[in-house]
Structure 1
Amino acid sequence: MSLPTEAVAALEAFQAVGSWEQRARLLMQWGERLPVLPDADKVDANLVQGCESLVWLVGHLQNGHWQFAANSEARLIRGLVALLLARVNGLSTAELQAVDLPGWFERLGLSRQLSPSRSNGLNAVLQRMRELSRAP
């Protein structure tokens, strides 16, 4: 499966830095690039269940391809969510179902820095995306 343009950009950026400190800084920068979610979208119905931090997620299908928007109050989580969005935005429903989350963060060089709770939270975000994509 080919990667969306944003995902390729993320991979190139993260593979170009060596140390964890540089990756952490880059992660924060990706989080800062997330568009602000309107307050109207920050409602309980859009909260992702299973995250320790508050994460709101909205998505819509546009010409057969999914576009998601999300945000979190936690800076590190915002960066991780931004990288997840880079990986999934523009995918079809079938492609979204096939996304390998651990593999994606492994390729970015971030998997060892993902605590079990962060990993679970990101899995919950991806699960919610999949649920939205299957909704009638």
Structure 2
Amino acid sequence: MATETFEEIVADFEFLEDWEDRYRYVIDYGKAMPGLDEALKVPATKVDGCASQVWLHPRIEAGQFSFEGDSDAMIVRGLIAVLRALYNGLPVAEVVKVDAPAELGRLGLNDHLSAQRSNGLRAMIERIRLVAGEAG
């Protein structure tokens, strides 16, 4: 059920044998993501439950889900970019059907994130599912 962009990340991860290389990949992926406009970094877009500052700004256009996001932590910014690859472009009704923990598990992220980062990642996924669920 993952997008083609997410499948490309999975394929790239298969070539990266050690976690440090994968960690760098996630950070670089986040660096390549466009930043979120400062005007959108408001309490309504802030995600609670994250150790760092995180903002997600979802959009639904023509029945398709997408979001922009940003964080003050490089690895979290990378995780946002990975979530964008997983969700952006899906029909809004499909967003809630994505088994994000299983998909992210294909990258081995579950085993290599601190408890705080894992909680933050879950909070971001919950926010995405909530917005899509309300819109669907």
Does the CA contact (< 8 Å) of 1:15 and 1:109 recur in 2?
no
- Indicate the SS of the match to 1:108: coil
Identity of aligned residues (%): 39
- Indicate the SS of the match to 1:35: coil
Matched, 1:24 2:27: no
- Indicate the SS of the match to 2:67: strand
Q: How does 1:113-124 map to 2 (within 5 A)?
A: 113-124=112-123
- Indicate the SS of the match to 1:98: coil
Q: How does 1:60-75 map to 2 (within 5 A)?
A: 60-75=59-74
Q: Deviations over 1:19-39 (max 9, x none)?
A: 111111111111101111111
Q: Deviations over 1:39-67 (max 9, x none)?
A: 11111111011111111000111221101
Residue matched to 2:101: 102
- Indicate the SS of the match to 2:80: helix
Residue matched to 1:8: 7
Q: Normalised by the size of structure 2, how large is the TM-score?
A: 0.92
- Indicate the SS of the match to 1:44: coil
For structure 1, list consecutive stretches of 5 or more residues without a partner in the other structure.
none
For structure 2, list consecutive stretches of 5 or more residues without a partner in the other structure.
none
CA RMSD of aligned residues (A): 1.3
Aligned residue pairs, count = 135
Q: Normalised by the size of structure 1, how large is the TM-score?
A: 0.92
